[in-house]
Amino acid sequence: MVPLECKGNVTSGHFEVLTHGNPVNVVGAVRGAVESVDKDLPPIEVRTQQQQIDAAVAPERTFATVTSGFGILAILLAGMGVYGVIAAGVPRRINQIGVRMALGARAEQVSLMVMTEALGLAFARIGTGSCAALFRDCYGTPTRRQTALVGRRQT
């Protein structure tokens, strides 16, 4: 053990123990060593380094999980909106579809036409949103939240 020199009234402190193998196996020995020095000094919160890291990162993980859930919900709602637009547009174009079928278009060709227009609409919206996000990152208000978990450095 390393001697600890204290001046004044000390209400709390911590120390680290380097172990080889499973650190949980030495908790009893550490408690016994501390008790042999001072019986009135109980080690209250004994944690491994991994437990300490997990506790420190837990709020960010919770935030990331909740944000991901809202992102998934937004994607589902956007998909339902695109479906609604397409579903509302097809009945209005029933005459055009009928004329195409009467002139010899196959059902696959008509379905392909409708799906191509739907995907074009979706990609246009994705492109617009991506450009807006890039513009915001380059010229907008800088983010204040550290994104250390993602690995992106704030400049």
* Structural domain includes residue 135: yes
What Å distances lie between residue 79 and 14, 73, 83, CA to CA? 53, 10, 6
Establish how many alpha carbons lie within 13 A of residue 20's alpha carbon, considering only the half-sphere containing its beta carbon: 0
The CA distance from 61 to 145, in Å, is 14
Domain count of the fold of the chain: 1
The helix/strand/coil state of 143 is coil
pLDDT given for residue 1 in this prediction: 47
pTM to 2 decimal places: 0.52
41-82 tens-digit pLDDT = 777 788 888 888 999 999 999 999 999 999 999 999 988 988
pLDDT given for residue 66 in this prediction: 95
68-79 tens-digit pLDDT = 999 999 999 988
The CA distance from 24 to 10, in Å, is 27
Q: Is residue 130 pLDDT above 90, yes or no?
A: no
What is the rounded radius of gyration, in angstroms, for the C-alpha atoms of the chain? 31
When pLDDT is averaged across residues 25-39 and rounded to a whole number, the result is 83
* Structural domain includes residue 124: yes
Q: The domain containing residue 146 runs over which residues?
A: 93-155
Residues in the chain: 155
